[in-house]
């Protein structure tokens, strides 16, 4: 059984890194494409800048974070 790979900026998922990174991500402040989340799947994700939490990366990143110096959205640890 293969694990999904998630984008750290928007929470989109794919079955492989290559499949994920070939699509664009509108929330990526560093560039155009999805960036793989390097952590493991969790029951709760926390923002590395403010500590807000959500049950999924996509739920966490749909809200803005006023403490994020690089962009607009929460970024998971």
10-68 pLDDT, tens digit per residue, is 999 999 999 999 999 999 988 899 999 998 889 999 999 999 999 999 999 998 999 99
Q: What is the pTM of this model?
A: 0.82
Residues 6+ apart with CB under 8 A from 1: none
Query: What DSSP letter does each residue of 11-72 carry, written as one string?
Result: --EESSHHHHHTSB-TT-SS-SB--B--S---S-EEBTTT--EESSHHHHHTSB-TT-SS-S
DSSP code at position 66: T
Q: For residue 1, what pLDDT is reported? A: 44
């Amino acid at each position: 059984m293969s694990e999904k790979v998630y984008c750290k900026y928007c929470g989109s998922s794919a079955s492989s890194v290559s499949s994920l990174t070939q699509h664009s991500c509108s929330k990526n402040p560093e560039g155009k494409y999805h960036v793989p989340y390097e952590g493991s799947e969790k029951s709760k994700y926390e923002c590395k800048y403010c500590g807000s939490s959500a049950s999924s990366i996509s739920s966490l990143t749909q809200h803005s974070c006023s403490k994020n110096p690089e962009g607009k959205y929460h970024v998971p640890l």
